[in-house]
Structure 1
């Protein structure tokens, strides 16, 4: 059972590194994006090309562009369009987190299964050869327990990072919602840029 545990470890590490790279705050919520969009809106420089560039610039840009494409409609339509874009962005931000959570849940079970297989093998050997050497029996049990330790070694960091990334995504989603509401207020003149 060590092969699936090692494979899970490699996959978990790859997901963790990729999520750290992809979920950088400056990539998700560029701090100066809303003021730039406001300035372009006030100067009437938001053409289709600019909006397409905004859409691919960042997840926040994707949401703001959804609202700006529909800026001629009323507040509710703009908000609905931005909420739809926000759901897609939130889904994209949670990419691979399910797999990481699954590895965190399955790691200890793989380790336990490996230990059970090892114990079955030890007791089968005892039935065939007898319990002649206690040191050999203890050595066999310790080898069987290695898979449990390996499973836990993979699962614990996976669980910690899974929870961390879930919380980070939630924080980003709330930040994007706040920025989207500010844009709606700017489009309807209810709020000056803050």
Structure 2
């Protein structure tokens, strides 16, 4: 492995740095975007029980707010429910925008890595070929060892760039899709809460 890194030349340094950063982001996002963490079923189950039994108070609202991102969105709406449907919806949308921002954290850097690592590989290819042509110009095609060094640098950097970019791009698309699914689920729960609080819908704890 060390020999491959050395064969790739100086361009391998940013490619390796990108691979480490991408790996860290991927592990962190897999952990942070778990449905059981973002929108656990227990959050809504407990909330519906509180509402049905009229046990909702300030302490429980704070507990709901800190329980999960979904709880934060729902608590934001409940804190302003007494001001009417429109204000409650605005409060939910305000909290939801901040939650979505948190869910999308690090996805832009991951997408950037997926974009720039093939370009870094291409840059390494160009540098390697420049070295090959420089050797040919200086010594002709007789020195195969020097020519092989430039060709090796070109191929290694290209392969390394693609090896980092492909999984980074796949994970980036996957995380975007997961965020979209989580947001849709939270929107449905928020709409249901508004309807329940303002009497447009009955509470169904079993369906929560």
Cα displacement (A) at 1:97: 0.3
Q: Work out whether residues 128 and 152 of structure 2, in 8 Å CA contact, stay in contact via their aligned partners in 1.
A: no
Deviations 1:39-61 (A, max 9, x none): 21232322222111111110100
Which aligned runs of 4 or more in structure 1 are off by greater than 4 angstroms? none
- 2:96 aligned with 1:82: no
Q: Work out whether residues 64 and 180 of structure 1, in 8 Å CA contact, stay in contact via their aligned partners in 2.
A: yes
Unmatched tracts of structure 1, length 5 or more: none
Alpha-carbon distance between aligned partners in 1 of 2:146 and 2:14, rounded to the nearest angstrom: 27
Alignment of 1:96-111 (within 5 A): 96-111=106-121
SS in 1 for 2:82: coil
Match of 2:125 in 1: 115
Alpha-carbon distance between aligned partners in 2 of 1:104 and 1:56, rounded to the nearest angstrom: 34
Deviations 1:126-158 (A, max 9, x none): 222222144652453133211011000000000
Match of 2:138 in 1: 128
Question: TM-score under structure 1 normalisation?
Answer: 0.95
Alignment of 1:36-115 (within 5 A): 36-115=46-125
Q: Which of these residues, 17, 26, 37, is aligned with residue 16 of structure 1?
A: 26
SS in 1 for 2:83: coil
Alpha-carbon distance between aligned partners in 1 of 2:143 and 2:98, rounded to the nearest angstrom: 62
Alpha-carbon distance between aligned partners in 1 of 2:35 and 2:134, rounded to the nearest angstrom: 56
Cα RMSD of the aligned pairs, angstroms, is: 1.4
Alpha-carbon distance between aligned partners in 1 of 2:90 and 2:150, rounded to the nearest angstrom: 62
Question: TM-score under structure 2 normalisation?
Answer: 0.89
Q: Which of these residues, 6, 9, 12, is aligned with residue 2 of structure 1?
A: 12
Q: Which of these residues, 156, 164, 177, is aligned with residue 167 of structure 1?
A: 177
Q: Work out whether residues 113 and 165 of structure 2, in 8 Å CA contact, stay in contact via their aligned partners in 1.
A: yes
